[in-house]
């Protein structure tokens, strides 16, 4: 990615209202990224292959393939892609299930509005 181009962030969330709320929050927070959305793990994997995002915001509990399965497929195709796992479950359990090498950060959805932008900025600034 050159300095002129904005990084791409893929939001993978199966609940449309929540996915759109995250997008609106990021837009209002002036995150400097091109935002794209997927409504399932399967769609997330396909969009990641096509769009090559630098960062994926992945819901853990998706219908069909879950967030860990989708993240595993994305990382196998694009090892440099960073993934932030979003969950309502206990972070320690999710971390254990997915492994620390796969996921760059874990954020509980209850803390999303406080932690998401700083986590994203830290990851995106490291790749620019």
Mean pLDDT of the chain: 88
The answer to which of 49-58, 72-81, 94-103 has the lowest mean pLDDT is 94-103
pTM here is 0.90
Helix (H) or strand (E) holding 70: helix 67-77
The answer to which of 11-25, 48-62, 90-104 has the lowest mean pLDDT is 90-104
Asked if residue 76 lies in contact with residue 65, where contact means CB atoms within 8 angstroms, the answer is no
pLDDT score, position 3: 46
Asked if residue 119 lies in contact with residue 84, where contact means CB atoms within 8 angstroms, the answer is yes
| Sign for the pseudo-dihedral over CA of 36, 105, 117, 2 | negative
Angstrom CA distances, 10 to 76, 93, 113, 116, stand at: 16, 24, 17, 14
Domains of the chain: 8-127 (3.40.50.2300)
């Amino acid at each position: 990615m050159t300095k002129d181009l904005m990084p791409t962030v893929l939001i993978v969330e199966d609940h449309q209202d929540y996915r759109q709320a995250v997008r609106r929050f990021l837009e209002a927070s002036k995150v400097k990224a091109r935002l794209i959305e997927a409504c399932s793990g399967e769609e997330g994997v396909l969009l990641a292959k096509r769009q090559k995002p630098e960062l994926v915001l992945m819901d853990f509990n998706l219908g069909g393939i879950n967030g860990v399965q989708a993240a595993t497929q994305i990382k196998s195709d694009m090892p440099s892609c960073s993934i932030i796992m979003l969950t309502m479950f206990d972070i320690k359990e999710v971390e254990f299930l997915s492994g620390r090498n796969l996921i760059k950060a874990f954020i509980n959805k209850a803390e999303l509005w406080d932690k998401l932008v700083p986590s994203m900025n830290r990851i995106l600034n490291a790749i620019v």
